[in-house]
Amino acid sequence: MTGPASPVARDFVHAALIVDSEDALRARLVPALRRSVAAHERVHLLVGAHVERVLRDALGTVADRLEWGESATFHLRLGFAYERLRRYLAAQHAAGSSVHVITEADVSAPERDAPVDRATAHLSYESACGDAYADYGCAVTCLWDSRRHPTPLIESVRTLHNHELTDSGCLPNSGHVGSADYLRRISEIPLAAVPTMVDLDVGLVALDQLNPLRAALRGWAEARSFDADATGDVVVAVTEVATNGLVHGALPVRLRCWHHGDTLIVQVDDSGDRPIPPTAGFRGPGSADRVGGRGLWLARQLADVVTMHCGESSTSVRLHFPHVGTHGRPAGRLTGPPTAATPSRRQARAGVVSAAVRARPGRPRARRRRECWPSHGWGTPAPSTVRGRRRSAPGPPTAAHPCGCTHRDAHVPSRPHSTSAPRRSPRDGISTGGRTAPPGSRIGTGPPPGSGRRTGQKPRWRPSGRRTPPRRRDQPSTSRYCR
């Protein structure tokens, strides 16, 4: 620990919600959600589809006032999901907002005969978030279904949360175990035995052996049908852990790789007497200028499960890379109010962009067309002659253009359609882009149907009759600015 906890950290509510039926879920969570909505508190739910259906049916229209995240594949990698939620809370805190997050972890194993218990491994992150999330002023409630997990695991879940949501409300937990104590106790449990036959067995004594190690790891992962991105994740994570052993441990460092079904497993052992801190890898490296401190943290982001054992004369780190979890990119959506750095969806639709985007160099600004039909083929044909060239004549508009205008609407340069309307011809009201066309003018319309005239011709003249210079090759077509 780095010092006494801040007042915000001391008031951090990390609650466990343990249910054994849908009735228990409604009895405990629905009243709490109604109280939060009545108090105008933000609540974000990251739960499974079944729990969401039960809550929506019980809440009715109140459910629309809650924020529902997409939990599909969110927990594909346990460490990545933990870090992603931390960054979300940090962003809300930086924006001056507070949100109550209710999450249901999907810790089911991707394989039926999985070599590691993901639920037990997830408890380490449950314990670590008690310290990592404490400074952001946002309450976190973790939903666990006792029907899916054994009783000892559920009891461990209860001790890792400082509050529990019951029928009587959210009550403090007197049996809470601190993060450092739990993680230290977990690191003292020996790992399962390594198989006698392994795919790779490498001894490292110097940093210049890392390049051959990377090549061996890449060939091993590719031989197990891992694609380029997944192979890169395996190589980076394992290399980071091996580097930690070479730098901070005692030589030699032994690295063994094997597979269990579709899961790749790597164990790195060193014989040093300096145990790894139990909380290593659960907090980010801090400043971007800091050198080092990213090894285990990066490994936890890339591997699905990372377990450690710190013995009296050796330290072991084991990484698991399931084929499904390593290839799938963790998805899901965390909603929240837009920050100043990210424009809202409404602002994006209105074209509100940053000054850096508006002033992007090397992008010539194109002139808006004064007529829609030359680029879109809208209008009605009739031949006319301008400066000796046959042009199209006006006709009644037959349909609206997808951009929202008709062939009679002018596109004023550098101004949207909704700005001051251009003046109309005194004879037939044809738009001339802010100028008054002379009587009988046939500018700005398209060819009538059935005349055989081809649409989509580019106008080479202005309302005044002067020809426009040809478009430069580096200048984009102006038809795409008709929106």
Structure token pair of residue 482: 């008709």
Positive or negative torsion for Cα 169, 49, 76, 286: negative
CB–CB of 358/266 below 8 Å? no
395, 398, 404, 406 alpha-carbon torsion, rounded to 10°: 0
CA separation for the pair 230, 323 (Å, rounded): 8
| pLDDT over 90 at 102, yes or no | yes
- For the stretch 217-229, pLDDT in tens is 999 999 999 999 9
**What residues contact 47, with CB distance under 8 A and at least 6 apart?**
55, 71, 102, 103, 104, 143
Structure token pair of residue 432: 């001339």
CA separation for the pair 73, 457 (Å, rounded): 50
**What residues contact 19, with CB distance under 8 A and at least 6 apart?**
25, 28, 29, 143, 144, 145, 146
- For the stretch 367-382, pLDDT in tens is 444 443 343 443 434 4
Q: Would you place residue 295 in the very low, low, confident or very high pLDDT band (cuts 50, 70, 90)? A: confident
To which residue do tokens 């229209």 refer? 61
Among 53-57, 107-111, 323-327, where is mean pLDDT lowest? 107-111
CA separation for the pair 86, 134 (Å, rounded): 10
CB–CB of 309/316 below 8 Å? yes
Give the chain's domains with CATH numbers.
7-186 (3.40.50.300), 200-327 (3.30.565.10), 368-483 (no CATH)
Structure token pair of residue 49: 């589809």
Structure token pair of residue 102: 């209710």
CA separation for the pair 168, 19 (Å, rounded): 14
Structure token pair of residue 200: 């790779």
Among 71-75, 104-108, 312-316, 463-467, where is mean pLDDT lowest? 463-467
CA separation for the pair 264, 322 (Å, rounded): 6
Structure token pair of residue 114: 């999985």
402: closest CA among 465, 483, 480, 345? 483
Mean pLDDT of the chain: 75
- For the stretch 235-259, pLDDT in tens is 999 999 999 889 888 889 999 999 9
Q: Would you place residue 428 in the very low, low, confident or very high pLDDT band (cuts 50, 70, 90)? A: very low
